[in-house]
Amino acid sequence: MSEANKDVVRRFFETLSSGDMDALAGFFDDRSTWGIGFAEDPSVRTGPQEIVHDFLVPIREGLFEPANPKVAIVNLWADGDWVIAETVGTGPMLNGNSYRNVYAFVLRVEGQVIREMREYMDTAYAAKLSAGPVD
């Protein structure tokens, strides 16, 4: 089961990097959740509409050049339904900055669906680069 779940996560990040948000929504159902693992944003998004169309699409379209950022998996670990992905997100931003941030994702996979996802990243770095050109 662990290898199958790792394959789902690999395909998820490949699809995210492709920019095909409609295909990305297929990894979630109405019970799926995506939470940001920081006190500054304790919100949890539920279902493909909130996760993909209300959260991811505005970030990608509002901050990054088309079809960006790309997310590369650095390490992937799995135990049963749980998968941990260490990733690097990179890409050109609309404000001229080059983005490169390290992430950790903790995901619970059920079949072909991502049931639960928690994201950890350097939010200070992301805020700095999003604010405007950095020398």
DSSP letter for 41, please: B
The answer for residues whose C-beta is within 8 angstroms of residue 77's C-beta and 6 or more apart is 83, 84
Confidence of residue 87 (pLDDT cuts 50, 70, 90): very high
Distance of CA 112 to the CA centre of its chain: 17
DSSP helix/strand/coil, 64: strand
Q: Which structural domain, as residue segments, surrounds residue 40?
A: 2-131
Tell me the CATH number at 64. Answer: 3.10.450.50
Sign of CA dihedral 80, 21, 61, 49: negative
Is the peptide bond prior to 69 cis by the omega test (within 30 degrees of 0)?
yes
Tens of pLDDT, residues 89-127: 999 999 999 999 999 999 999 999 999 999 999 888 888
Number of domains forming the structure of the chain: 1
Tens of pLDDT, residues 37-79: 765 666 789 999 999 999 999 999 999 999 999 999 999 999 9
The pLDDT value given to residue 85: 98
The pLDDT value given to residue 133: 80
